[in-house]
Structure 1
């Protein structure tokens, strides 16, 4: 029993790179476009992601370096009221506090544990002028935020490069089809005469 070699549907890898009489210049150009697109997708995605992550981490570290903990006291009882802080998810409530920074008394609302009495000490975070700022991100939070932003920017950049490569490849395909149409206009009438 002789074995037959399957030829229908067999895929020839890297056919655009191999020399053969059927390869058109546009096939080789398309191979270079695909290769360049994938190289740029990897490079641009990684570089943009790393740059964005570094910028976010630097910005968070800089913001954290400008925030200073200051001792403050509650100006009112911290009761569970309509001023609950749902975004913290730990049952915190907004309460008025007072503190002194650079010799100037300040007052503002901060999230505190419910049930604290007026006069209880709390820590608030302020900038150089003594205005309230949010608590600086921890090292773990900075890494997480930088990683998320870097991943999103990297994926977005890589997707943009991939779409550009896809558009160039589509343009090459349209040019190839137009060339086939022109060639068919020349060959078609002669071919029909030989059949008929």
Structure 2
């Protein structure tokens, strides 16, 4: 409030220059954009991302399914791996060669991560596949989609605010440079005669 009241009194000061008024307006416009436009852009971005992600959730739930897979053999030793679809970072997965059936009945096989502690030939476990029977990740859930949408909106808000602030700083920098250039020109005009007797008479 003190800064605002100071600006209000400064508007009638005889020392106020036109550039001072321009700088104040630049700052006020930037403040309005950061306070109103940035949150609005963030909300719109988050809403658009949420709509897109919810469509993806519905599509993935429709096209992906869990099917049983059978262990053919355990693959050569690999360092312990974690399942990217598992919320726990401490769930160790074993890599095995397994086969499963596609929706059209054809047999598929490939390297799969399984949570079986000691997989043996013939052990069965569940995997996610797409409509063609190719192994894929589990469908995106609604809570994760909403969280990603919130992060997208928050990121868009911060990015907009940062761009506005960068624009404000650039404009003020150019205004200050222009002011200094005018001062230099003024000093060049009066500099050679500065302090001499009779100057200005």
Provide TM-score, normalisation by structure 1.
Answer: 0.74
1:149 to partner: Cα distance: 3.3
For 2:113, the equivalent position in structure 1 comes to: 111
For 2:25, the equivalent position in structure 1 comes to: 32
For 1:64, the equivalent position in structure 2 comes to: 57
- Distance between the aligned counterparts of 1:60 and 1:80, measured in 2? 38
> 8 Å contact 1:93–1:111 — kept in the other structure?
yes
For 1:175, the equivalent position in structure 2 comes to: 178
- Distance between the aligned counterparts of 2:134 and 2:73, measured in 1? 22
> 8 Å contact 1:78–1:113 — kept in the other structure?
no
Structure 2 unmatched runs, 5+: none
Q: In the superposition, relative to structure 1, how do residues 157 and 113 fare at CA in structure 2: closer, same or farther (>3 Å)?
A: same
- Distance between the aligned counterparts of 1:172 and 1:141, measured in 2? 46
- Distance between the aligned counterparts of 1:47 and 1:80, measured in 2? 54
For 1:100, the equivalent position in structure 2 comes to: 102
CA deviation vs aligned residue, 1:127-153 (integer Å, no higher than 9, x gap): 333322211233332233333333333
- State whether structure 2 residue 73 is matched by structure 1 residue 73: no
Q: 1:154 aligns with which of 153, 157, 172?
A: 157
Deviates more, 1:137-146 or 1:175-184: 137-146
For 2:78, the equivalent position in structure 1 comes to: 82
SS in 2 for 1:193: coil
> 8 Å contact 1:71–1:121 — kept in the other structure?
no
Where does structure 1 differ by over 6 angstroms across 4 or more consecutive aligned residues? none
- Distance between the aligned counterparts of 2:9 and 2:106, measured in 1? 75
SS in 2 for 1:106: strand
For 1:124, the equivalent position in structure 2 comes to: 127
Number of matched pairs: 187
- State whether structure 2 residue 8 is matched by structure 1 residue 19: no
Taking only aligned residues, the RMSD between alpha carbons, in angstroms, comes to: 3.3
Structure 1 unmatched runs, 5+: 1-10
